[in-house]
Amino acid sequence: MTNRSTTLDRARAVLVLCGLAGVGALVTSASWTGAQLSTAEFSAGSFSLVSRTDTGEFRSHDERDAVVLAWQAAPMFPGETRAAWIQVQGAGSVDGSVQLTDVAFNDPIAAGSNDEALRDAMTLRVAAWSDAEAGDPVCDETTAGEEVGGLNSLPALTPIALERQGANTATYCLVVSLPADAPAAAQGGMIAPVWVFGTAA
């Protein structure tokens, strides 16, 4: 009788241990899980350029509506110099910079033509600076700057930093000259250069 009782007690003990092991496994596999979600909104800032001369207010001027420099440059004679200015501001929500990047011509210039002789004979001098205000600058024939020969060339100018929403103004004073020793072949020539002021790379 004692041996049978002992055997039953051992069997119960084994069953209890197996039951506890099973409960432990169930608790492990059913652990709490959860997730935290986060999101954000992104938008790109904008930067663009607006310009003016002494004939108007700051606004955008593209290839279909180039701002006209007010120097009344035609006709010019050997030994004459003319000056005109353009001011540029940054528009938009971010800062940027501006630089004299290119020069093009409205009409094709034929090799050996009077137009080519005039283009190559003229010189261009450019002064550039930044101001906090946008008043009319001092820009005349005596303004010093970087000079190049031929209106198809550009002087090497340092980009000018522009603050957002027109907080400062870049001024460019352009001085063109037809030297006294300009060749006779330049007579009757007519050219229309378009200077491009773009964002610096």
Q: Residue 45's CB: how many other CB atoms inside 10 A?
A: 10
| Domains: count for the chain | 1
Indicate whether 24 belongs to any domain: no
**What integer pLDDT is reported at residue 167 of this predicted model?**
93
pTM of the model: 0.77
Helix (H, G, I), strand (E, B) or coil at 21: helix
Indicate whether 108 belongs to any domain: yes
Contact 171, 129 (CB under 8 A): yes
> Domain range holding 170?
47-199
pLDDT per position as a tens digit, 25-65: 434 445 566 677 777 777 777 888 999 988 788 988 877 77
Q: Is the dihedral of CA 120, 69, 157, 62 positive or negative?
A: negative
Contact 115, 151 (CB under 8 A): no
Q: What is the DSSP letter of 30?
A: T
Indicate whether 194 belongs to any domain: yes
pLDDT per position as a tens digit, 68-105: 887 766 688 999 999 999 999 999 889 999 999 999 98
Indicate whether 37 belongs to any domain: no
Q: How many Å apart are CA 85 and CA 173, to the nearest integer?
A: 4
Q: What is the DSSP letter of 59?
A: B
pLDDT per position as a tens digit, 155-173: 999 999 999 989 999 999 9
